[in-house]
Amino acid sequence: MEFSSKLLENAVNEMSQLPGIGKRTALRLVLHLLKQPEQQSQKLASALLQMRESINFCSNCHNISDTQLCKICANPRRDEKLVCVVEDIRDVMAIENTSQYRGHYHVLGGKISPMDGVGPGDLTIVSLVEKIKIGNISELIFALSSTMEGDTTNFYIYKQIEPYNITTTTIARGISVGDELEYADEVTLGRSILHRIPFESSLKSL
Amino acid sequence: MEFSSKLLENAVNEMSQLPGIGKRTALRLVLHLLKQPEQQSQKLASALLQMRESINFCSNCHNISDTQLCKICANPRRDEKLVCVVEDIRDVMAIENTSQYRGHYHVLGGKISPMDGVGPGDLTIVSLVEKIKIGNISELIFALSSTMEGDTTNFYIYKQIEPYNITTTTIARGISVGDELEYADEVTLGRSILHRIPFESSLKSL
């Protein structure tokens, strides 16, 4: 792509560094900004800069937070002995949206993935094990995505905390609500039969 | 969506102002920036700001340019009597990529579209008519997209310049190179038969 302006080329190049944004999309976004009042570009730029410079992570659960302890960890009505291990802050938001969970979280910051060069040391596993060592946690819920990387990470953490003898659970795998049985994959369907639950308790969660 | 940080929320909100970027995509982009070195966010922000503040438009053709006259208008080897009317700078880039055109351009900055509140006054039609009045142009090529808005804009300009008696042409509509006839729509196929060209001249353009 050849640009008629260096400034435009520079903006498109920087924009296309973002994941899933190619050169063509970047050009469309940048031309949109050009058509809008100058203020909009200024607001976008300063919002990004401020976020990058001043963002904080909760010292307990590593969730993004403006305060030293995040709202969830600082809430005395939440059960601090119950901890849900998630990959990143989007998972926290997704689980919070369900209003079904009243415990704490632990945000790992990723999954163990040798292909992407992410080892256990790049995640917040040490601080999780530390919390368990102190004895503050009675149950750990694994809520990572059900991929090879997620399973590897679950297993790695499981091995690390085995000596401390706490309850470890994992979120249920099964047929999504509203899904047709015939379109489900065998593994999911198989697991959902293997881990069937009493009919009465399925009524309770409605 | 509920965010655990005001700074994050602000960045996501600003990002999701861009066309085609929803809240979820914005969050993904912003979290990506958080994982990258701070420098990347700074470079993105300053590239956007610099572009928005210092960008220039060519005084002749209204293309984006760092100089008062763009490279195309300033090139003495290009035919200034031949002018191709396009919607925006992406069309200039697309036509330049073909290396088939040696004339000038005129960038309208949009199409007449009452639904979107774009009238003739919002485009650079006045300056195009001015150029034609002076008598600098011998042929005008309409290269707008073949939609109702594009056709309306073509017709509006055509009516404005009718008194000055210059040649007006429009880019050929027909079956795309590589396309199967059976999948072409009737209008395109009909036009391609109506406006058939001598076989010898189709050989020349290979």
**Helix-helix angle A23-35:A6-15, to 10 degrees:** 120
pLDDT at B47: 94
**Helix-helix angle B6-15:B23-35, to 10 degrees:** 120
Q: B56–A89: do the CB atoms touch at under 8 Å?
A: no
CA distance A34 to chain B (A): 6
Place of tokens 């309208």: B108
Whether pLDDT at A70 is above 80: yes
CA distance A102 to chain B (A): 16
* Model confidence pLDDT, tens digit, residues A21-55: 999 999 999 999 988 899 999 999 999 999 998 88
pLDDT at A190: 87
* Model confidence pLDDT, tens digit, residues A157-187: 999 999 998 999 999 888 888 888 888 888 8
pLDDT at A14: 94
* Model confidence pLDDT, tens digit, residues B38-70: 999 999 999 999 999 888 899 999 999 888 899
Q: Of the candidates A27, A47, A70, which has its C-beta nearest B11's C-beta?
A: A47
Domain B67-171 class in CATH: alpha beta
CA distance B129 to chain A (A): 23
- For residue B120, give the DSSP letter: G
Cβ contacts of A55 on chain B, cutoff 8 Å: 5, 7-8, 34
User: Which residue of A lies nearest to B122 if distances are taken between CA atoms?
Assistant: A35
For A:53-72, CB contacts with B below 8 A are 53-56, 58, 63-66, 70-72
Q: What does the mean pLDDT of chain B come to?
A: 90
- For residue B16, give the DSSP letter: T
Q: What does the mean pLDDT of chain A come to?
A: 90
Q: Of the candidates A28, A41, A51, which has its C-beta nearest B19's C-beta?
A: A28
CA distance B194 to chain A (A): 34
* B77 CB-near residues (< 8 Å, 6+ apart): B102
For A77-171, CATH number out of 3.30.450.20, 3.40.1360.10, 2.60.200.20, 3.30.420.40 equals 3.40.1360.10
Cβ contacts of A88 on chain B, cutoff 8 Å: 31
pLDDT at A197: 84
Q: A10–B96: do the CB atoms touch at under 8 Å?
A: no
* Model confidence pLDDT, tens digit, residues A14-30: 999 999 999 999 999 99
Question: Residue A127 corresponds to which tokens in the numbers above?
Answer: 């601080």
Task: Describe the strand order of the beta sheet including B167-170 as a list of residue ranges.
Answer: B103-107, B79-86, B139-142, B167-170
Cβ contacts below 8 Å, chain A against chain B, sum to 171
Cβ contacts of A33 on chain B, cutoff 8 Å: 18, 48, 51-52
Q: Measure the CA–CA gap between B126 and B128, rounded to whole angstroms.
A: 5
Cβ contacts of A9 on chain B, cutoff 8 Å: none
* A130 CB-near residues (< 8 Å, 6+ apart): none
Give the N- to C-terminal CA distance of chain A in Å, as an integer.
Answer: 55
Whether pLDDT at A206 is above 60: no
Q: Of the candidates A1, A19, A64, which has its C-beta nearest B8's C-beta?
A: A64
A48–chain B Cβ distance below 8 A for any pair: yes
Distances (CA, A) of B68 to A4, A192, B108, B148: 12, 68, 17, 33
Whether pLDDT at B15 is above 90: yes
Q: Of the candidates A30, A89, A93, which has its C-beta nearest B51's C-beta?
A: A30
Whether pLDDT at B186 is above 90: no
* B191 CB-near residues (< 8 Å, 6+ apart): B173, B174
Spans of all domains in chain A: 6-54, 77-171
Mutate to test the interface with B, among A48, A57, A96 (most CBs of B within 10 A): A48
User: Quick check: helix, strand or coil at residue B9?
Assistant: helix
Percent of chain A topping pLDDT 70: 99
Average pLDDT over residues A57-82: 91
pLDDT at A1: 76
Q: pLDDT category, A128, cuts 50, 70, 90? A: very high
Distances (CA, A) of A146 to A44, A140, A143, A154, B104: 35, 17, 9, 10, 57
B74–chain A Cβ distance below 8 A for any pair: no
Q: pLDDT category, B206, cuts 50, 70, 90? A: low
A25 close to B85: Cβ distance less than 8 angstroms: no
H or E segment and range at residue B12 = helix B6-15
A16–chain B Cβ distance below 8 A for any pair: no
Domain A6-54, CATH homologous superfamily name and number: RecR Domain 1 (1.10.8.420)
Check if B6-54 and B67-171 are the same fold.
no
Question: Residue B172 corresponds to which tokens in the numbers above?
Answer: 């050929």
A40–chain B Cβ distance below 8 A for any pair: yes
User: Quick check: helix, strand or coil at residue B66?
Assistant: coil
Q: Quickly count helices (H) and strands (E) in chain B.
A: 9, 6
Residue whose C-alpha is closest to residue B123's, from B140, B136, B135, B106: B106
List own/partner pairs for A98-104 with CB under 8 A and 24 or more apart.
A102/A77, A102/A78, A103/A78, A103/A79, A103/A139, A103/A141, A104/A60, A104/A61, A104/A72, A104/A73, A104/A78, A104/A79, A104/A80
Residue whose C-alpha is closest to residue A144's, from A156, A161, A162: A156
* Model confidence pLDDT, tens digit, residues B109-146: 999 999 989 999 999 999 999 999 998 899 999 999 88
A182–chain B Cβ distance below 8 A for any pair: no
